[in-house]
Structure 1
Amino acid sequence: MVECAHCKTKENGFMCLLPKQTLACFVHHEVRDLAWAIGSPGLLPGLPMAPDDDWYAELLHAYWPRLLALDRQPALLQRHCAHCRRLGQYFETLWHFFLLDSPRFQVLGYNRQQVVAGKTLGAFDFLLWDSQHMRVEHWELSVKFYLITDTATPEDSALGINPCDRLRRKLDHMQQHQLRLSEQPVVRRALISEGLMPEHKRLILKGRLFYPQHTTLPERAPGTLGRWGHELPDAQFKAQHKLGWMTGGRATTERRDRKNYQDSEGNWYVRVEKEWNQ
């Protein structure tokens, strides 16, 4: 039996929530991805409304025996995720499974559309009951992979492989719109009438930041960063299917998927065309 050891180890002087050796103990992709979705560090430290990494470690530690059991009998998790084709959908579905499966949480609303007078005002990713804190919470989730184009201002210069996807814009949308949906008076009244008004909000943003190929990576936990460039990576890097971008191990030969690469040491590299962000 693999021990969780509080789900933290020391790597290169940093406390790593989910070291690659821990992920490697899982046989099945879905279980490995579920462990990563729960236990990986947040994309950026110190974001308003985002949990700190100790909170993720606590969830992972409590759920660890169940992850080992799922790896022995993964059919339930695999069926739950079988419909997923997009990475964001897959990430959200993994969290949905965890929340349904965890004795701590009760899902009260999932992708709940808030429609008033025929107009959709927004949607809640999750409304849930946290039995540990005895309160209703509102969670918004996202998994993102951004390329840093200016190391002097990483957050403001972070672009997705689709350059229309900008980190700053994503944060503004999650913090100023999605997580404030319950503050709209008409929505607030509806939630109060149903006993669903959240007392707490959480921004769960995971993923990986990629820095230019020949720059020095900042000091962060291993596995949270990668590199990007215009050249093909070395032969030991294998292109990963889109659903494998979280933990790897899903090599693909499909031309359309030759964007995000991983090597056997767990290093990541994104290749984009020279005119990618123009």
Structure 2
Amino acid sequence: MPPPGNGRLEHCHHPLVRDLAWLLLAPDLIAMPWPGRPSRRDLGLGDDERLAAWLGEREVAPDALEVHLAPALRGRMGLYHERLWQFLLAESPDTRLLAHNLRIPQGKRTLGELDLLYCQHDDPHPVHLEVAIKFYLGLPQGPGAADSQARWIGPGGADSLAAKREHLHRHQLTLASSPEARETLRLLLSPRWPTGPDGPAPEVAARLAMPGALFYPWHDKMPPPREATPDHLRGHWLYARDWYRLRDGLPGDTLGAWLYKPHWLALPRSEALQPLRDLEAQLAQHFTAPAYPVQLALWQPDRGWRRVFVVADDWPRQIPLPPRP
């Protein structure tokens, strides 16, 4: 499947700007019964020319983006994704970032955090945006029905689409409507809210952004998980022992790149690609001992891009339990 907005991405050279562009263009993985992410139009970037100009400004002067993302370049994938959203909501023409990682206290304990709180420039009503970026691999045999979200697990086997979905639905996306959150928001927003500090807390809408990719088993057929969006990004996963069978079916001019966290978002530019024989040498060395899964980007001139996860022959070593009903 071609990467989202590939033509627009090709105009971006800076890797952080490319990831920012990817975030603006990538579809979400699933459609839950909650409103989705702010659209490009909400951000003031709905027009293609305006989007290209806005990204071009960051290409010419990337300092602010580099400084903002620097603390996340060696951290969790989720932290990098969150900071991209912080920058996007703060710097887009039509949105204002009000708060991020807003702690909601309940006495001496923390009830949770709101990832992002923002509003439109022409509408003061706050919006809570919960964000998650996920790369899940599908198990043709696993818990539940063939389309169960519990069959889609992270590369490390520690989490699943089902568990993440339920946590978002039951806790994170309802958090802003709790009495504790409403009081926190009243204190935070009262200086700018028309009713003043003694008025009621403003109503807060909740939205979800959950981009990423779903990797289908190369060796078997499997349907998409329940609630998957029609245009979600797809790839394949395969065991290390099957790599040469996959390679033998690829055109001889196929090139590739080893993707390193946190740069799993935008696929690399052509100058970063290697011949497959170079990737094979790295894979052979990597899987001589117990090893973590590896994500590759493969480029075929006549077919375009494909994402591939290569996993150890004994993967997965653990499967998360499905969430309780």
Scaled by the length of structure 1, what TM-score is found? 0.82
**What is the CA distance between 1:32 and its match in structure 2?**
0.7
**Over the residues paired in the alignment, what is the CA RMSD in angstroms?**
2.9
Equivalent position of 2:227 in the other structure: none
Q: Is the 8 A contact 1:138 1:200 kept in 2?
A: yes
Amino acid at match of 2:63: A
How far does residue 218 in structure 1 lie from its aligned partner after superposition? 6.8
Residue of structure 2 in register with 1:243 after alignment: 262
Residue 263 (structure 1) aligns with: 298
Q: Quick one: distance in 2 between partners of 1:217 and 1:72?
A: 44
1:117 maps to what in 2?
Answer: 107
The one-letter amino acid of 2:184's match is: A
State the SS of the aligned residue for 1:150.
coil
2:254 aligned with 1:229, yes or no?
no
For residues 58-73 of structure 1, the aligned pairs below 5 Å read 59=43, 60-62=45-47, 64=51, 65-73=53-61
2:151 pairs with 1:157: yes
In structure 1, C-alpha distance between the alignment counterparts of 2:164 and 2:63, rounded to whole Å = 34
Partner of 1:47: 32
Hey, what's the Cα distance between the residues in 1 that align with 2:234 and 2:298? 14
Q: 1:166 to 1:73 in 2, by over 3 A?
A: same
Q: Does 1:191 align with 2:226?
A: no
Residue matched to 2:11 = 25
Deviation per CA, 1:228-256: give whole Å up to 9, x if none.
Answer: 01023637332111122111327796957
Counterpart amino acid of residue 26 in structure 1:
C
Deviation of 1:106 after TM superposition, in Å, equals 1.5
Alpha-carbon distance in structure 2 between the residues aligned to 1:190 and 1:25: 42
Aligned in 2, Cα 1:36/1:43: closer, same or farther, shift over 3 Å?
same
Q: Give 1:83's aligned residue.
A: 71
CA displacement at 1:87 relative to structure 2: 1.7
Corresponding residue of 1:7: none
Contact 2:136–2:161 under 8 Å retained in 1 = yes
Q: Is the 8 A contact 2:153 2:160 kept in 1?
A: yes
In the alignment, does 2:207 pair up with 1:202? yes
Q: What is the aligned residue count?
A: 261
| Bigger Rg over Cα | 2
CA contact (8 A) 1:99 1:105 kept: yes
Contact 2:150 2:163 in 1 (8 A): no
The residue identity in structure 1 corresponding to 2:297 is Q
- Structure 1: give runs of 5+ residues left out of the alignment: 1-10
Q: Alpha-carbon deviation of 1:216? A: 5.7
Evaluate the alpha carbon distance shift between residue 133 and residue 163 of structure 1 in structure 2; reply closer, same or farther with a 3 A threshold. Answer: same
* 1:129 aligned residue (108, 119, 130): 119
Tell me, yes or no, if the aligned pair for 2:104 and 2:180 is still in contact at 8 Å. Answer: no
Residues 81, 160 of structure 1: alpha-carbon distance in 2 compared, 3 angstrom cutoff: same
SS in 2 for 1:267: strand
* Counterpart-to-counterpart distance in 2, 1:208 and 1:83: 24
**Alignment partners' CA distance in 2, 1:140 and 1:203:** 5
Partner amino acid for 2:264? W
Q: Give the number of the structure with larger relative contact order, counting CA–CA contacts within 8 Å between residues 6 or more apart.
A: 2
Q: What's the offset of the Cα at 1:208? A: 0.3
The alpha carbon displacement at 1:132 in A equals: 4.7
State the AA in 2 paired with 1:270: F
Distance 1:47 1:148 in 2: 19
Distance 2:188 2:147 in 1: 44
Closer/same/farther in 2, CA of residues 185 and 58 from structure 1, 3 Å limit:
closer
Whether the 8 Å contact between 1:17 and 1:57 is mirrored in structure 2 is no
Q: Shift in Å at residue 130 of structure 1?
A: 2.1
In structure 2, relative to structure 1, the CA distance for the partners of 1:258 and 1:24 (3 Å cut) is: farther
Partners of 2:122 and 2:25 lie apart in 1 by 18
Letter in 2 for 1:73: A
Structure 1 residues 134 and 187, CA, compared in 2 at 3 Å: closer, same or farther? Answer: closer
Q: CA separation of 1:78/1:245 partners in 2, compared to 1, >3 Å: closer, same or farther?
A: same
Structure-1 residue corresponding to 2:312? 273
Structure 2: stretches of 5+ with no match in the other structure: 190-200, 225-229, 248-253, 274-278, 318-325
Report the Cα offset of residue 150 of structure 1. Answer: 2.9
